[in-house]
Amino acid sequence: MGYKVAVAGATGAVGREILRILAERNFPADEVVALASSRSVGREVSFGEDKVLKVQNLETFDFKGCDIALFSPGAEISAKYAPKAARERCVVVDNTSHFRMEPGVPLVVPEVNADAVYKARRGIIANPNCSTAQLVVALKPLHELFRIKRVVVSTYQAVSGAGKDGMDELFAQTKGSFVHDSPDIAQFTKQIAFNVIPHIDRFLEDGSTKEEWKMAVETRKILDPDIRVLATCVRVPVFIGHSEAVSIECEKPVDLEKAWEALRRAPGVVVQDKREDGGYVTPIESVGEDPVYVSRLRVDPSVEHGLAFWCVADNLRKGAALNTVQIAECLAERNLLGPHSELWKKHERPLEPQ
């Protein structure tokens, strides 16, 4: 017997990718419902190679009878409608930032902390920020081996992290540069074509940005509350694929061969690291792929017990849609879906709408 699955935000880039991945991975669904705002009602979205779903209205949809809802409609919309779904004993996996640091809402990357799904006592599980998701997948085996104390990470984040409008702006500015058009700047604070912007999300009082704060607090919530994290998040003129240059400081002496071997064995990681021209992975090679790719692994001589590496992943897949579906698979494998599952037996009062 399969499940009834709702996908909220089904017309967006991540929503469409969720539908594609549900079909690719043969998630055990008897029925899949595509939801979006009232202006998208009646539009058609693809589900797999030969199925088309007509979009229904999220605002009026009755979640009673749904087993799981995969949300990616924007933080304010999730804040309103995710608790509505949870009150009907429909487990919500939310891809927005709204619930990530809420008490009682686990923040899950299945390769790292899959059993945290049991802690979803309020019916909602959060998907982390895309840059955090790939980082913790690479950090997990190294943390188990050497106990990480500190992480310094610089990100090179694709414009798709800002949605379809961000991708359209890069395309328009790139095309316009060849005919000497003045760049139209709307989605980013400066021209993104042929440029890099060390600013993602809003600035905080300490000079960091909200994106950098997210990486720090989310890494600690998922992996270990004692790890110190310094992030510098940069938007780059790449359509899809986030890259990260990472340096870690560990409690134990690092062994390069053991690090390589641990990463090669780690779920969700592919090591491609040859010390030669082209012996590493770049973001364009990660597009449409599921793993987090690790390259440029080397000892960091600037700190005691230091290690450095480069990692790349498709931010629309592992950073968002794939991780969301993997959480759904974790719930299904543990029999935590359905109104009579163990999850609801220990259920606390669901989150109230905001």
Q: Is 130 a catalytic residue?
A: yes
Annotated binding residues for substrate: 157, 235
What angle, rounded to 10 degrees, do the helices at 210-222 and 130-146 form?
Answer: 40
Cβ–Cβ contacts within 10 Å for residue 254, how many?
18
**What average pLDDT does the segment 174-198 reach?**
96
Domains delineated in the chain: 3-127+319-345 (3.40.50.720), 131-315 (3.30.360.10)
Pairing of strands 292-300, 306-313: antiparallel
Catalytic residue among 90, 130, 311, 330: 130
Predicted confidence (pLDDT) at residue 352 exceeds the cutoff of 60: no
For 123-187, give the DSSP string.
Answer: SEEEPPPHHHHHHHHHHHHHHHHH-EEEEEEEEEE-GGGG-HHHHHHHHHHHHHHTTTPPP--SS
Predicted confidence (pLDDT) at residue 334 exceeds the cutoff of 50: yes
**What average pLDDT does the segment 256-273 reach?**
97
Residue with tokens 């982390």: 128
**What average pLDDT does the segment 73-77 reach?**
94
Q: Residue 152: which of 290, 307, 343, 38 has the closest Cα?
A: 307
Catalytic residue among 143, 233, 242, 250: 242
Count how many residues are written for the chain: 354
What pLDDT shows up at residue 121? Answer: 81
**pTM above threshold 0.85:** yes
Compute CA distances 11 → 127, 285, 339, whole Å.
Answer: 19, 25, 28
Annotated binding residues for phosphate: 100
CB 281 within 8 A of CB 293: yes
What pLDDT shows up at residue 350? Answer: 53
Interval 237-258: pLDDT, tens: 999 999 999 999 999 999 999 9
Q: Residue 15: which of 3, 6, 24, 28 has the closest Cα?
A: 6
Annotated binding residues for NADP(+): 11-14, 39-40, 160-161, 183, 315
What pLDDT shows up at residue 354? Answer: 44
Which of residues 226 and 48 earns the better pLDDT score?
226
Chain Cα centroid distance, residue 316: 7
CA distance 221 to 244: 20
